Amino acid sequence: MDTTEVQLTTDGSLDCSYARYEGEGEDEEMAANAVWCPDSRHAYMVLEDYRKLHDLWVINSLTDKPTLKSYKYEYPGNKHVTQNDLIVIDVVDKTVKKAKVDKWNDQSLLPVAVTSDSKLVFFERTDRSWSKVDLCSVNTSTMEVRELIHEVDLPYRDPHARNVAVYNDGKDILFRSERTGWGHYYHYDGDGNLKNALSSGPWVCGHIAAMDTLKRTVYYYGYGDDPKINPYYYRLYKSHLDKEGATLLTKEDAQHRVTFLKSKRYFIDTFSRVDLEPRILLKDNTGRTIMELAKPDLAQVYEAGWTKPERFVVKAADRVTDLYGVMWKPSNLDPNKKYPIISVVYPGPYFGFVPTKFELDDRYCTRLAQLGFIVISMGHRGDTPMRGKVYHTYGYGNMRDYPLADDKFGIEQLAKRYPFIDINKVGIYGHSGGGFMAAAAICTYPDFYKAAVSCSGNHDNNIYNRGWGECYNGVQEEVKVVKDSLGNEKKEYEYRFSVYSNAELARNLKGRLMLVTGDMDDNVNPAHTYRMAQALIEAGKDFDMLVIPGAGHGYGAADDYFEKKMQRFFAKYLLDDTRAEYWGDINRSK
């Protein structure tokens, strides 16, 4: 075996690297980015060029001497964005070749599969607006590129919901598409000819759980085929690869997660709901239960006073669409009393924060309820791709405002349904996109929401990441044909992006607002929160603010501190509990 080390590339740099760079300085280690083919001769990768991107910064104030962290960042509408090249490496011939894949300006590339003989690498090519996609293959020896499937998906194809699977050395391709308005899988042959759909109808197929290539049977999750069951629940289906028709295998009204045995004859089905304890069953591939494998004993939990959250359904502001939610109540709830209500939100659009599985402590919600609040979390139109195209794209072009009316109208319905809800004391909490929504809500409906905690919110999506803004809010491409000094024509591209920010609403604030950010957040830069704070200052508004030193987008070791701060904030302004002013250590005298 020849173990001689040979350097194949010499043109890499920190911001255009053949390795993945995740460090904070040039001395940090870099991980290999190339993926080996089965023949151990070829490898492939997407080379990402960040060199023309903007620099963005955060400062770590907790190091010996404050240190600056720089990183590359793409803003929506930028002229210069990440450039992608598909690279194929041959370690025998010692060659590094770039595939000729250019079709759209600022396109992105995503490898999805390689054949077992290593001859073909399959990849997706997507335009900048996320509305056009090709599935292609490249021959690792000849570098021939073939376009197999072309799809136009308006207004966008959600990058978090796309799925392509390649089987039988490229002879069978499954391509998930929303061409009918509902996400289903379509079977193509290796030349890109459509053979058949696997399923159809007003429901949605999710990710593939398993494939039995011998029996040509596909197992996958689905959502929303039964109008009596929460459309957020994962349930398992199977289809024959060569004909349309879906068979439901997990019929229980619950959220399912399955693990297949190697033979694909059996699978382990773990299912639960927020109000249904987990069950773990062994089933065969027809869905028949063989035996129960495990069941939790929660007697002591109930004896301690724990109560299950409650599921509910309300209408969206259009008074037609069903919205699904969960309610946590104090374990000692007195139905004759009035309780403030807090809405815990995340508006999507790539997933909706609607809890579906059984948990004893659902992050902050369970504990917050025990302080004397009704806590809810519900979906909003536009929050998830798993309820069909129309529902999912409801917020396109209106990123700030689309979920707000649904949240308000949902709370109003609950207050009419449950007399113990105090409609005059409404709070809202969210993190990241939820923080963006919480601040927007209290400033859009200042007489309705009385208190809001807005954490790490992307309050100004003009400075949030390009993929998020351009995909979910839209970007306009303008093409001009110009001539160079020699008279040769070439195309020049400009991109227009426009979105409302929360700062524009700051003057409306009447209730109590707490802004929170980590000062090392390189996802939603602290600038978002600072801009909102500045707008509130200019508008003469009183507000609370917490900056957590050293924290990123999550708060890490400071999370407990933040949670206590949030609890006291809501207790003070919704419960009128003056004890929230006191911050002490109950163990100080021990």
pLDDT in 10s for each residue of the chain, 590 residues: 677 888 999 888 989 988 865 544 444 555 678 999 999 999 999 999 999 999 999 999 999 999 999 999 999 999 999 999 999 999 999 999 999 999 999 999 999 999 999 999 999 999 999 999 999 999 999 999 999 999 999 999 999 888 999 999 999 999 999 999 999 999 999 999 999 999 999 999 999 999 999 999 999 999 999 999 999 999 999 999 999 999 999 999 999 999 999 999 999 999 999 999 999 999 999 999 999 999 999 999 999 999 999 999 999 999 999 999 999 999 999 999 999 999 999 999 988 888 999 999 887 999 999 999 999 999 999 999 999 999 999 999 999 999 999 999 999 999 999 999 999 999 999 999 999 999 999 999 999 999 999 999 999 999 999 999 999 999 999 999 998 888 889 899 999 999 999 999 999 999 999 999 999 999 999 999 999 999 999 999 999 999 999 999 999 999 999 999 999 999 999 999 877 677 665 455 44
Q: pLDDT by residue (tens digit) across 456-501?
A: 999 999 999 999 999 999 999 999 999 888 888 989 999 999 999 9
Provide the pLDDT for residue 18.
87
Q: pLDDT by residue (tens digit) across 178-213?
A: 999 999 999 999 999 999 999 999 999 999 999 999
The topology (CATH level 3) of 196-273+275-306 is Neuraminidase (2.120.10)
Show the tokens assigned to 256.
């399912």
Report phi then psi at 536, rounded to 5. Answer: -65, -40
The 8 Å CB, 24+ separation contacts for 312-315 are 312/376, 312/378, 312/414, 312/417, 314/378, 314/409, 314/410, 314/413, 314/414, 315/409, 315/410, 315/413
CA torsion through residues 221, 223, 227, 230, sign: positive
| pTM of the predicted protein model | 0.94
End-to-end alpha carbon distance in the chain: 67
Structural domain spans, the chain: 196-273+275-306, 309-462+502-581
Which CATH architecture is the domain 309-462+502-581 placed in?
A: 3-Layer(aba) Sandwich (3.40)
Point out which residues pair with 289 in neighbouring strands: 283
Segment (H or E) for 223: strand 217-223
- The SS3 call for residue 467 is helix
Q: What DSSP letter does each residue of 261-318 carry, written as one string?
A: -TTSSEEEEEEEETTEEEEEEEEETTS-EEEEEE----HHHHHTT----EEEEEE-TT
Cα distance between residue 223 and residue 233, in whole Å: 6
Cα distance between residue 236 and residue 231, in whole Å: 13
